Amino acid sequence: MSTPKIAGLKPIKIETEKGKDFYWCSCGLSQNQPYCDGSHSVTDLTPLCVTPEESGRAFLCTCKQTKNPPYCDGTHSQFRDK
């Protein structure tokens, strides 16, 4: 299995819309972070389809190491200052 590229070291804040799907980039290669742009085609990783249950603010992971994809869980802090 491919290892995701760390695309960033801080989450990206988005506004979600209840019931409106979006595809979170799980490979870290997308030029349209945090959303998929198809760059995963050179990996064995696939984007995560997310359908929010309510509208509101969400913080999406860009380090791609979260244990709660697509949401940031603070894992990026272990990569700072290295």
Enumerate the domain spans of the chain.
Answer: 12-79
Q: What is the pLDDT of residues 19-77, one digit of tens each?
A: 999 999 999 999 999 999 999 999 999 999 999 999 999 999 999 999 999 999 999 99
Residue 22 Cα to chain centre, angstroms:
11
pTM: 0.92
Assign 79 a pLDDT band (cuts: 50, 70, 90). confident
Altogether, the residues listed in the chain come to a count of 82
